[in-house]
């Protein structure tokens, strides 16, 4: 047997490590007894392995604790070392994700509410704009109609002058005897107090016979203060009085604001 080749083969290291099969180990054991060189090589391998194990020995907590107790023995005290707090990282990550999700939901909900408020505001603005546009269109139509009435020969204009109750009051009546329609321009009348309303009268003068044409109520009026009333009477004059809300059977002459005669 070539002893050097056998030693260099590495089988002796495997033998010391215990990595050989039982049959292989028995074979090496026989060689050890036959060749002193091989036996010496095995001893050197074992010595080197023990030295290496000493330098890289694994941490033994019991040995370390015993060593600490031994070093502190002269004080009679033992220092307790609290175990390092353990953190459940998966749980922490899960909670963090949940909090982030909830925060995201609240942010989204808040943004949605803001968007709804913006849309509601925009809708309100659109309604107001449309309402103002419709109002402007209506007033323009009324203005055109009023101009047509004023310029038409079919309408008799009756100016109504101020009376003692209010020297600054004035009004006009545009009366079409063919259509029995009367337009009352009440722009020169002051705003009636609460609980009061203006009432228009058709008058026959001899004898004085008043006939109510109607009330100038706000719901019948536009910003132009033009009121449309029916008048099929043979009117000789027109007057407007301030009456209790709902109107009166006969005019309250003490509250006669304006009066004017037809053809005057």
DSSP codes joined into one string, 226-237 = EEEEE--S--SE
Return the SS3 of 160. Answer: strand
Do 188 and 251 sit in the same domain of this protein?
yes
Question: Does the structure show a pLDDT above 90 at 163?
Answer: yes
Do 49 and 98 sit in the same domain of this protein?
no
The pLDDT, as a whole number, for residue 56 is 46
pLDDT, one tens digit per residue, over 32-88 is 899 998 888 888 887 776 665 554 445 454 554 555 455 455 444 444 444 444 445
Q: Is residue 207 part of a domain?
A: yes
Q: Is residue 167 part of a domain?
A: yes
Task: Name the percent of the chain lying above pLDDT 90.
Answer: 37
Residue 84 — φ and ψ, nearest 5°?
-65, 130
Strand order through the sheet with 208-215: 208-215, 196-205, 237-244, 256-261, 156-162, 171-176, 181-185, 226-230
Q: Is residue 218 part of a domain?
A: yes
The pLDDT, as a whole number, for residue 43 is 87
For the chain, the average pLDDT equals 79
Question: Does the structure show a pLDDT above 80 at 100?
Answer: no
- Identify which of 200, 252, 211, 259 has the alpha carbon closest to the alpha carbon of residue 234: 211
The pLDDT, as a whole number, for residue 59 is 47
Confidence of residue 7 (pLDDT cuts 50, 70, 90): confident
Across the range 86-110, mean pLDDT stands at 60
Q: Is residue 85 part of a domain?
A: no
The pLDDT, as a whole number, for residue 87 is 43
By CB atoms closer than 10 A (0-12, 13-18, 19+), residue 183 is buried
Domain boundary (50, 68, 86) is at: 68
Across the range 223-247, mean pLDDT stands at 92
Question: Does the structure show a pLDDT above 60 at 250?
Answer: yes
The pLDDT, as a whole number, for residue 174 is 95
Across the range 190-212, mean pLDDT stands at 95
CA distance 184 to 182: 6
Q: Is residue 74 part of a domain?
A: no
The pLDDT, as a whole number, for residue 80 is 46
Residues listed for the chain:
264
Q: Is residue 79 part of a domain?
A: no
CA distance 146 to 178: 17
Residue 263 — φ and ψ, nearest 5°?
80, 10
Contact predicate 236/262, CB 8 Å: yes
Find residue 227's DSSP bridge partners: 184
What is the number of domains present in the chain? 3
The pLDDT, as a whole number, for residue 101 is 62
Q: Is residue 77 part of a domain?
A: no
Do 131 and 170 sit in the same domain of this protein?
no
Question: What is the full DSSP assignment across 164-212?
Answer: TTBTT--EEEEEETTTTEEEEE-TTSPPPPTTEEEEEEEEEETTEEEEE
Do 189 and 237 sit in the same domain of this protein?
yes
Do 62 and 23 sit in the same domain of this protein?
yes
Do 29 and 105 sit in the same domain of this protein?
no
Structural domain boundaries, residue 62: 3-68
């Amino acid at each position: 047997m070539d002893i050097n080749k056998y030693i260099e083969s590495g089988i002796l290291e495997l033998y010391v490590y215990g990595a050989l099969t039982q049959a292989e180990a028995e074979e090496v054991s026989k060689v050890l007894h036959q060749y002193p060189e091989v036996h010496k090589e095995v001893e050197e391998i074992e010595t080197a392995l023990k030295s290496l194990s000493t330098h890289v020995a694994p941490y033994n907590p019991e040995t370390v604790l015993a060593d600490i107790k031994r070093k502190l023995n002269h004080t009679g005290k033992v220092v307790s070392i609290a175990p390092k707090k353990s953190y459940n990282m998966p749980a922490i990550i899960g909670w963090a994700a949940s909090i982030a999700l909830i925060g995201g939901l609240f942010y989204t909900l808040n943004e949605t509410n803001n968007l709804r408020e913006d849309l509601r505001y925009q809708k309100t603005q659109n309604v107001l704009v449309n309402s103002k546009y419709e109002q402007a269109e209506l007033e323009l139509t009324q203005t055109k109609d009023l101009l047509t009435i004023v310029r038409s020969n079919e309408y008799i204009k009756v100016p109504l002058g101020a009376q003692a109750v209010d020297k600054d009051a004035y009004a006009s009546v545009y009366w079409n005897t063919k259509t029995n329609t009367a337009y009352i321009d009440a722009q020169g009348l002051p705003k009636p107090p609460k609980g009061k309303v203006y009432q228009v009268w058709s008058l026959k003068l001899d004898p004085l016979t008043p006939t109510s044409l109607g009330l100038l109520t706000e719901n019948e009026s536009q910003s132009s203060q033009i009121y449309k009333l029916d008048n099929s009477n043979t009117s000789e004059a027109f007057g407007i009085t301030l009456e209790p809300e709902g109107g009166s059977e006969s005019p309250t002459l003490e509250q006669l604001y304006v009066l004017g005669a037809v053809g005057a």
